[in-house]
A and B are shown apart, each in its own frame.
Chain A
């Protein structure tokens, strides 16, 4: 059996080698697929902070993915039509700048996570799942009826947003940007796991009463995890919208929440690279099996069933065995 950190390096090299090979052989579609996997991975890394570390089974992460997407959509749509976003109390115009859009996406989804978290964390177990799902549906139907931004049809952005010094329309350059963000977030996540906060959160998931009896508030720890989690998924949403140059209410749908959770479960809940493996696997299956049959989700379902029944640690757990806290 190989050690987890070795496997992580192998996974990371896949994310370097395939796009490079695709770049050399001039296969831009493969690069786009890899970008899709990277962005999905980022969304799932976000969920994994809540799910894996905090034990919060959120079936509403599409909210943050969608908010990220609409952050991009709304800002870029105002920029491309030269209409101000708002005139009162101060003039705010749209923007085509990616860093600005990302910051906006992160702040907005963090705020949403704060509100949803405060209300949902009063419950646990199946009620928590249901209440997060309900929030997801609220945002979904709201986006459908919000005709100013395309309603059901969504919003198309003609030109991908700009990042200083890069031509984001070149697939490999946009891919590099997404990968850099994913790696940064993974690095932050790895620090987070071992930090005092991570230690306390980990205990809050397993034995909340213990955390209480050392004088800490398990609820607040979980809320903080939920906010960080939502912010990361929101960032992924902005990247996803920019990849497609399109946002629609689908990003808010419960299927999106479900897919993000599937990435985490396939790869391994609570494993640093679990969501990354899961997203890569999903995109690969979607591409290959999707080419064979429109009903490829059946095979995905079988895979998921197998993993849940026989490999509790997901693909990473099957390869590396049980998680070790001490490396």
Chain B
């Protein structure tokens, strides 16, 4: 007594090929253990449903930011304020220590720190994006990518608050990237795609192995120093090949260089695309395999 019970209800092919529109709109939940192709379809449906729930993603992400600062005088602008203090302090420290020109270093540093803040936020919070949504996951069926989207939207909003600092610094030092800055847009699009994959991959790992989030946090601290964030990649004269193994190097450069009015080489773009394909493959393979089990792990 298996599937043959339902021939009249679920004709061969898609169960959604119903005769009338009214019936087709009827939600149907049909769950059973799946083979690889069904799993892939289910993941794609998960992503599609998340897209349809964009209003919810947006609201949740925004509420996360708002609630963090509810009751404080500055509200989310505490983000802006603390970034401004950090940029100011680090610029003064490094320009004095290493006798660098503040005029060129401070715009570079402000942009780098703000961009890295986004990357670090997505990666660190991505590792807990499912475990943090435990209550929601256990109380209703929702697409899992929704939690990834929430994490990304939250970090985009944080980024937008921090961008104010960069704009002010650029204005003070009269830095104008010109039309070159438009090249940051495809870079940002790639970042967005990578952010989704990173959240799905790390969130899944973090749900299964609770040691992952703290490991990621300490790894990201190391990456902050070994990636060209507070220093320019041109400073590395020997062993440049090693730098290319750092996935953050190329990804940062394709967005940062255009915004500083410089050109991001085709080589940097190639590296970024390789990294992204690798990341997406890993994320897709893992998420496909364990999506149905995630609720059990939370």
Our verdict on whether A and B bind, yes or no, reads no
- Which residue numbers of A lie inside 8 Å of B, CB to CB? none
- Which residue numbers of B lie inside 8 Å of A, CB to CB? none
